[in-house]
Amino acid sequence: MRFVGIDPSSKTGFVALDEAGEVLRRKELTGVGSVDPKRIVTLVDEIITHLHTDDIICLEGYSFGSQGKGVSFQYELGGMIREWLYRMKFEYTIITPSQLKKFATGKGNTPKDAMAVPIYKRWGFESSSNNVVDAYVLAQMARAIKQSDCGQLALDLPTFQLEVLQAIAG
C-alpha cells in the first residue's frame, strides 16, 4: 500500500510514500506540450500511469478564490483527474487548500511560499517545487487518514493536525 498526494496544476506535484512515510516517488508532472487539450489529456495520462491499484490518494481541491487565465485550466484538469480516478475505481479524498496548509503549518492561510520551512522542520522533506512539497503533505495526510481509519492514529500528532483530520472525516 502506498500513500499518494497529487497537487494538480500545469506542473502537477506527485508524491508516493510507503507505510512508514518514506518517499518512494516524487515528481513534477507536466504532460506534453503547452496547448490544450493535448497538455491536459497527457498530464492526466501521466498521473494515472504513476498510480497503483491499492494507493490511498489525497487530491488537492480547487482554490475557489483564484483568478486569472489559469483558473479554467485548473478546473478542467481537476475534473478530468476526478473522472479518471472514478472510472478506474480509485478511492480518494479531496483536501481543500486551507486544510493542506493547516495540516502542514498549523495555519490555514499560510502563503504557499512560506510552507517549505515548516514542512522541512516537521518531516525533513524539501523540494525546489512548491507543487511537489504540497503533494508530499497530501501524501502524509493520506497516511494519517488511513491510520485514523484503522484506529492507529499516532498520539503524537499536533492538535491542529487532529482538527484537520476531524474536519475531513465530517
CA pair distance 4, 37, nearest whole angstrom: 25
pLDDT at 27: 98
75-117 residue pLDDT tens? 999 999 999 999 999 999 999 999 999 999 999 999 988 999 9
CA pair distance 140, 105, nearest whole angstrom: 13
User: Quick check: 7 and 61 in contact, CB under 8 A?
Assistant: no
CA geometry: angle 14, 30, 132, nearest 5 deg: 30
Question: How far is Cα of residue 7 from the mean position of the Cα atoms in its chain?
Answer: 4
pLDDT at 154: 57
- Please state the domain count of the chain: 1
pTM of the predicted protein model: 0.94
User: Quick check: 45 and 134 in contact, CB under 8 A?
Assistant: no
Residue type for 144, please?
A: A
Which residues of the chain are under the pLDDT cut of 50?
none
pLDDT at 153: 62
CA pair distance 133, 19, nearest whole angstrom: 19
pLDDT at 70: 79
pLDDT at 148: 78
pLDDT at 68: 75
**Domain carrying residue 30:** 3-169
CATH number at residue 26: 3.30.420.10
